[in-house]
Structure 1
Amino acid sequence: MGDCFRLVDLPPELLVHIFTFLPRDAIHCCRKTSRYLYQTIKFSIELRYQVDREFAHVTDNPASLLPISERIAKLGARESGFSTMTPSWVRTIPVPFTTAGLYELSCGLFWLGESGREALRYIVLPNEPPGPNPSPIQWERIALPSSRSRIIDFGLAIDEHDLVVIATFTPTAPIAQLDALPLRRALAVSSGVVKLEFVTVSSPNGPHPQAKGPIEFPATQWGIPSVIIETVGDILVFVAAYPRVPIVPDHVYVYNWKTGSLIWEITAENSTYFGAVFLSTGVLMLPNTTTATLELWLLTPGQTAPVLTLHLPRLVPGIRIATMTARGEPNPSVSGRRNPAVPFHSSVEDSIIVFNITFPAPPNLFTPIFLFFAHRRALLSLLAAHPTPGDALDYADWGPDICRWINAGGLVTDWITTTSGQRCIALPARETASFLVLDFNPLTVHAASSVLPAEDDPFEDYGIWAEAVGSRLPVHVVSSRQQYDSYNGVSLDDARIIAFKKNMLRQLREVDVYFFG
Structure 2
Amino acid sequence: MSLLQLSPELLVQILSYLDYQDLQVCRRVNWAMNKLIQSSIALQYSMQLQLYGYEDNPNCPLVIADKLRLLRQQEASWSRLDFEKETSVRIPFNPSSIYDLTDGVLLLGESLSGIQTGADTVRWAPLSRLISGQPDPSSNLWEKIDVGAHIIDVGLSVEEHDLIVVATDRETEDHHTKFELRLIQLSTGMNHPLASKPAITLAVLPVPPQAVAGQSSVCIEIIGDLLCFLFHYPGGSTIPPAMFEVYNWKTGQCLQFRGMDCPSYSTFTFLSPDVIALPNCTDNTIELCRISSTSLEPGECIKELQSSCILQLPVLGRGHSIAQVTCRSEPKMTKTTRNAPAFKSTEPFHLRPEDAVVIFNVMTHDSQGFHECLTLITHTAALLRILDEHPYELTSVLLPEAPRPTPRPLPSEDSPATQNDANGQPLPSSDELPSASFKNSPTGPPRLLWAEWGPKICRFLEASFGASRWITTTCGQRYVTVEEDPIEDDSMHSTIVVYDFNPHNVRRLAMQHRKRRRLLRGYRPSDLGGPGIDYMPHSTVGPGTGLEPGAGIGIGQGVNVEGSAARMDHVSLIPFTDPMTRVIGQIQCEPTELMAGYAMQYRIFDEHVRTSLPFAQLSSYKTYGYGAVLLDRNMVIGVKLNDADDIKELVIHSIRRGS
Match of 1:15 in 2: 11
| Corresponding residue number in structure 2 for 1:372 | 376
Distance 1:37 1:290 in 2: 57
Deviation at 1:467, TM superposition (A): 2.6
State the match for 1:394 in structure 2.
Answer: 449
Query: By how many angstroms is 1:377 displaced?
Result: 0.2
Report the Cα offset of residue 337 of structure 1: 2.9
Q: 8 Å contact 2:319–2:367 — kept in the other structure?
A: no
1:153-172 correspondence to structure 2 within 5 Å: 153-172=153-172
1:260 Cα deviation from its structure 2 partner = 1.4
For the residues of structure 1 that align with 2:609 and 2:43, how far apart are their CA atoms? 42
CA offset digits 1:11-62 (Å, max 9, x no partner): 1101111211222233234334444333322232111110110111111112
Match of 1:348 among 334, 350, 353: 353
Residues 292-327 of structure 1 show CA distances to partners (whole Å, capped at 9, x for unaligned) of 111111212523521111111122344321001110
1:473-498: CA deviation from partner (whole Å, max 9, x where unpaired): 111111122222x2121100111101
TM-superposed CA distance for 1:173, in Å, is: 8.5
Comparing 115-124 with 26-35, which one deviates more in the overlay?
Answer: 26-35
Query: Using a 3 Å threshold, how does the CA distance of structure 1 residues 494 and 393 change in structure 2: closer, same or farther?
Result: same
Mapped pair 1:510 → 2:649: yes
Residue in 2 that maps onto 1:119 = 121
Residue number in structure 2 paired with 1:209: 193
- Once residues 33 and 131 of structure 2 are traced to their aligned partners in structure 1, the CA distance between those partners, rounded to angstroms, is 40
Matched, 1:428 2:483: yes
User: Taking structure 1 as reference, are residues 93 and 475 closer, same or farther at Cα in structure 2, changes over 3 Å only?
Assistant: same
Tell me whether 235-244 or 394-403 shows the greater mean CA deviation.
235-244
- The residue type paired with residue 471 of structure 1 is T
Report the RMSD for the aligned CA atoms in angstroms. Answer: 2.4
Partner of 1:187: none
Q: Distance in 1 between matches of 2:147 and 2:651?
A: 32
**Amino acid in the other structure paired with 2:159:** D
- Of 277, 281, 284, which residue of structure 1 is paired with 2:269? 277
- Is residue 97–residue 646 contact of structure 2 (8 Å, CA) maintained in 1? no
Q: With the length of structure 1 as denominator, give the TM-score of the two structures.
A: 0.89
1:451 and 2:587 matched: yes
Secondary structure at the aligned position of 1:284 is classed as: strand
Measured in 1, the distance between the counterparts of 2:251 and 2:345 equals 30
* 1:40-189 superposed matches below 5 A: 40-116=36-112, 117-126=119-128, 130=132, 138-146=140-148, 149-172=149-172
2:422 alignment partner in structure 1:
none
**For the Cα contact (< 8 Å) 2:478–2:500, is it kept in 1?**
yes
| Distance across 2 between alignment mates of 1:256 and 1:267 | 19
Give me the whole-angstrom Cα distance separating, in 1, the residues matched to 2:493 and 2:44: 41
State the secondary structure of the residue aligned to 1:427: strand
C-alpha spacing 1:142/1:198, structure 2 compared with 1 (3 Å): farther
Note if contact 2:591-2:613 (Cα within 8 Å) is conserved in structure 1.
no
2-structure distance, mates of 1:314, 1:500: 35
Secondary structure of the structure 2 residue equivalent to 1:26: helix
Q: Which residue number corresponds to residue 314 of structure 1?
A: 315
CA contact (8 A) 1:252 1:266 kept: yes
Q: Does 1:227 align with 2:218?
A: yes
Does the 8 A contact of 1:277 with 1:327 survive in 2? yes
Given that 1:163 and 1:200 are in contact with CA atoms closer than 8 Å, whether structure 2 keeps it comes out as yes
CA distance in 2, matches of 1:279, 1:31: 34
Q: Which residue in 1 is equivalent to 2:610?
A: 470
* Aligned residues of 2:320 and 2:367 also touching (Cα < 8 A): no
Partner of 2:538: none
Rate the CA distance shift 1:364–1:138 in 2: closer, same or farther, 3 A: same
C-alpha distance in 2, partners of 1:482/1:17? 46
TM-score, reference length from structure 2: 0.71
Aligned equivalents of 2:588, 2:91: Cα separation in 1: 37
Change (3 A) 1:415 1:14: same
Structure 1 residues 171 and 246: alpha-carbon distance in aligned structure 2, compared to 1, 3 A threshold: closer
**Residue pair 1:65, 1:340 contacting (<8 A) in 2 also:** no
State the distance in 1 between where 2:348 and 2:223 align.
22
1:501 partnered with 2:486? no
Higher RCO structure, 1 or 2 (CA under 8 Å, sep 6+):
2
Assess, with a 3 A threshold, how the Cα gap between structure 1 residues 63 and 473 changes in structure 2: closer, same or farther.
Answer: same
Q: Distance in 2 between matches of 1:105 and 1:240?
A: 21
Matched length: 492
- 2:242 and 2:463 map into 1 onto residues whose CA distance is 27
- Which residue among 260, 269, 280 is the counterpart of 2:252? 260
* Structure 2: unaligned runs, 5 residues or longer: 113-118, 293-301, 394-444, 486-491, 511-585
Instruction: Give distance in 2, aligned partners of 1:274 and 1:228.
Output: 8
**Equivalent of residue 438 in structure 1, options 463, 477, 499:** 499
- The alignment partner of 1:322 has SS state of strand
How has the CA–CA distance of structure 1 residues 280 and 105 changed in structure 2, closer, same or farther, with 3 Å as cutoff? same
SS of 2:652's equivalent in the other structure is strand
Q: Shift of residue 134 of structure 1?
A: 6.3
Task: Note if contact 2:475-2:633 (Cα within 8 Å) is conserved in structure 1.
Answer: yes
Moved more, 462-471 or 68-77: 462-471
Q: Deviations over 1:55-81 (max 9, x none)?
A: 111111122222212221222222111
Q: Could you say which structure has the larger radius of gyration?
A: 2
Rounded Cα–Cα distance in structure 2 between residues aligned with 1:312 and 1:246: 31
Helix, strand or coil at the partner of 2:353: coil
The residue aligned with 1:181 is: none
* Separation in 2, partners of 1:23, 1:298: 28
